[in-house]
């Protein structure tokens, strides 16, 4: 495993982190089970993954409970990065972002209890406010939690470049941005390159998610669009439907070819590509099983294969969705 330090922090994170959304057991189909999820978390630690991205929303707390069950006391040795701000009602109720200082504090306290931690290593705002709280008030609440020792660092998820600039101006302590980024999803490149790492100087960490485009870039879905059960959010994801699905096939064919020659997998190449991009600190990769984890950590080997990227570049450029 390779490790990268988030600028201005003591957080030394494995290049590949484990995303815990799917193992929460909601919105990712009918093949999620706790036993495999716990095995996947154990495999992640065995492979050198030292951080886990979770959220209260993931299985409405169930992902957190699995982390505690799987890691036991080891949860103090890894970095648990969780999120704050989302309110949800009932089993399938609508979720929305309430970033009022009171809710930030209450939500953080609930995570501390659920994760059985005294301090959360990294607390990230899950998505921008859908109520009327100014960004500065939210940042003040996060800074107060940091000063009070409830969290070590804080970050933002899913913010664009303008609010990110505004946040950095008000709270230079801001540790990181979490943003979607992959070979096929590149609209946040401006924020990565111009705000997070202008002129090559990294101002804040970037945690890239959806690095496999929800599994599409593993190449496991064959020539026709897959059918997902309604319980799987990919059932409604346009990237798994036409015309997007066909658009990405030439890239997948190229990834399969190159991966086959290198004894790697398309997944490892897709994650490695993200890790090689300027501005990206680390990749969050979701996994439901130990086998998927073992496959994904090979991205670290793939990163070192310098010759393949030139050959893949034209395919990547044509496959944006
Ligand atoms: N901050 C935010 O708003 C936000 C939003 C989304 C995600 N995230 C974070 O990012 C994490 C990653 O999720 P994502 O949505 O970005 O998806 P992703 O990592 O692109 O894809 C994850 C899914 O791909 C499949 N997969 C993973 N490795 C595989 C392998 N080696 N071979 C075959 N299939 C494999 C698995 O689903 P199947 O086996 O069912 O195909 C897995 O659940 C989440 O868990 C979460 O922590 C954060």
Q: Is residue 33 part of a domain?
A: yes
Q: Is residue 255 part of a domain?
A: no
CATH code of residue 13: 3.20.20.100
**Per DSSP, what are the bridge partners of residue 157?**
178
pLDDT tens digits for 264-317?
A: 999 999 999 999 999 999 999 999 999 999 999 999 999 988 889 999 999 999
Q: Is residue 83 part of a domain?
A: yes
Instruction: Determine phi and psi for 120, rounding to 5 degrees.
Output: -90, 125
Ligand 1, atom 15, lies closest to the CA of: 210
C-alpha span between 277 and 94 (Å, rounded): 35
- 245 CB contacts (<8 Å, ≥6 apart)? 221, 225, 239
Report whether pLDDT(69) > 70. Answer: yes
Q: Is residue 244 part of a domain?
A: no
Report whether pLDDT(30) > 70. Answer: yes
pLDDT tens digits for 208-264?
A: 999 999 999 999 998 799 999 999 999 999 999 999 999 999 999 999 999 999 999
- 318 CB contacts (<8 Å, ≥6 apart)? 250, 251
Domain assignment of residue 139, given as a range: 3-215+278-289
CA-based Rg of the chain, rounded to a whole angstrom?
19
Ligand 1, atom 22, lies closest to the CA of: 286
Among residues 210, 223, 281, the alpha carbon closest in space to that of 250 is found at 223
How many folded domains does the chain comprise? 1
Percentage above 90 pLDDT, the chain: 88
Ligand 1, atom 1, lies closest to the CA of: 157
Q: Of 54, 185, 209, which is best to mutate to test ligand 1, by the most ligand atoms within 8 angstroms of its C-beta?
A: 209
Q: Of 21, 58, 125, 274, which is best to mutate to test ligand 1, by the most ligand atoms within 8 angstroms of its C-beta?
A: 21
- For ligand 1, the distance from its centroid to the CA atom of residue 199, given in whole angstroms, is 31
Do residues 58 and 66 touch, judged by C-beta distance below 8 A?
Answer: no
Among residues 227, 189, 233, 195, the alpha carbon closest in space to that of 208 is found at 189
C-alpha span between 202 and 7 (Å, rounded): 7
> For residue 99, what are its two tokens?
């970033």
pLDDT at 227: 94
Give residue ranges with CB within 6 A of ligand 1. 19-22, 28-29, 53, 126-127, 157-158, 178, 209-215, 218, 220, 267, 284-288, 292, 295-296
> For residue 95, what are its two tokens?
């979720």
Q: Is residue 142 part of a domain?
A: yes
**Structure confidence at residue 191 as a pLDDT band (50, 70, 90):** confident
pLDDT at 93: 64
Q: Is residue 236 part of a domain?
A: no
Q: Is residue 62 part of a domain?
A: yes
pLDDT at 320: 83
Q: Is residue 122 part of a domain?
A: yes
Whether 181 sits among the annotated catalytic residues: the reply is no
Whole-model pTM over 0.95: yes
Ligand 1, atom 21, lies closest to the CA of: 214
Q: Which residue has the tokens 């200082």?
A: 101
| Strand pairing report for 205-209 and 176-180 | parallel
């Amino acid at each position: 495993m390779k490790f990268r330090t988030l600028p201005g922090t003591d957080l030394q994170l494995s290049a590949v982190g484990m995303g815990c959304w799917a193992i929460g057991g909601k919105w990712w189909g009918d093949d999620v089970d706790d036993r495999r999820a716990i095995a996947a978390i154990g495999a992640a630690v065995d492979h050198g993954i030292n951080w886990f991205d979770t959220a209260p929303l993931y299985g409405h707390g169930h992902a957190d409970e699995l982390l505690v069950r799987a890691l036991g006391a080891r949860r103090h040795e890894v970095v648990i990065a969780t999120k704050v701000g989302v309110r949800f009602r009932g089993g399938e109720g609508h979720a929305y972002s309430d970033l009022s200082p009171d809710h930030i504090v209450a939500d953080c306290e609930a995570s501390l209890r659920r994760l059985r931690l005294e301090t959360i290593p990294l607390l990230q705002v899950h998505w921008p406010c859908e109520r009327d709280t100014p960004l500065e008030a939210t940042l003040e609440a996060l800074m107060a939690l940091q000063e009070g020792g409830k969290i070590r660092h804080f970050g933002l998820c899913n913010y664009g470049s303008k609010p990110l600039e505004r946040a950095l101006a008000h709270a230079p302590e801001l540790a990181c941005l979490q943003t979607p980024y992959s070979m096929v999803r590149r609209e946040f490149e401006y924020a990565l390159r111009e705000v997070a790492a202008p002129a090559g100087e990294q101002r804040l960490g970037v945690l890239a998610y959806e690095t496999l485009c929800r599994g599409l870039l593993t190449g496991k879905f064959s020539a026709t669009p897959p059918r997902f059960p309604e319980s799987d959010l990919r059932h409604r994801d346009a990237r798994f439907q036409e015309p997007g699905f066909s658009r990405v096939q030439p890239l997948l064919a190229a990834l399969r070819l190159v991966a086959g020659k290198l004894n790697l997998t398309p997944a490892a190449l897709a994650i490695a590509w993200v890790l090689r991009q300027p501005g990206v600190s680390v990749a969050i990769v979701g996994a439901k099983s130990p086998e998927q984890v073992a496959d994904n950590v090979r991205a670290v080997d793939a990163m070192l294969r310098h010759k393949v990227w030139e050959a893949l570049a034209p395919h990547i450029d044509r496959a944006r969705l």
